Amino acid sequence: MRKADEIATPTSCLNKAADDEPIFVLRAHDPIAGPTVRAWIALAEKHGLHKDKIIEAHNIADDMEDWHIENVPPL
């Protein structure tokens, strides 16, 4: 989900988190964000998490990797 959508959507992950709940944010600017999400997907599949959540994670990983390629110059 894009930052603006995450903030604007009352049911987003960020907005559903309790005020004192620890969270971890990955940004597409980070070159290992997409692969990290893909590692999470592998664990989620092993633990039988809801298929829709896994599909959403695949889409986010793809979007992160595409954004990174388009917006961050190579080292």
C-alpha span between 27 and 22 (Å, rounded): 17
Query: Is 32 in contact with 1 (CB distance < 8 Å)?
Result: no
What number of other Cβ atoms are within 10 A of residue 18's Cβ? Answer: 7
Task: Let me know: does 64 contact 51? Beta carbons within 8 Å.
Answer: no
Average pLDDT for the chain: 94
| Banded model confidence at residue 46, pLDDT cuts 50, 70, 90 | very high
Q: Residue 24 — pLDDT band, cuts 50, 70, 90? A: very high
Average pLDDT over residues 15-34: 95
Q: Judge whether residue 30 has pLDDT over 90.
A: yes
Residue 27 pLDDT = 95
Task: Report pLDDT for 1.
Answer: 77
Distance, in Å, from the CA atom of 51 to the CA atom of 35, rounded to the nearest integer, reads: 19
How confident is the model at residue 23, as a pLDDT? 92
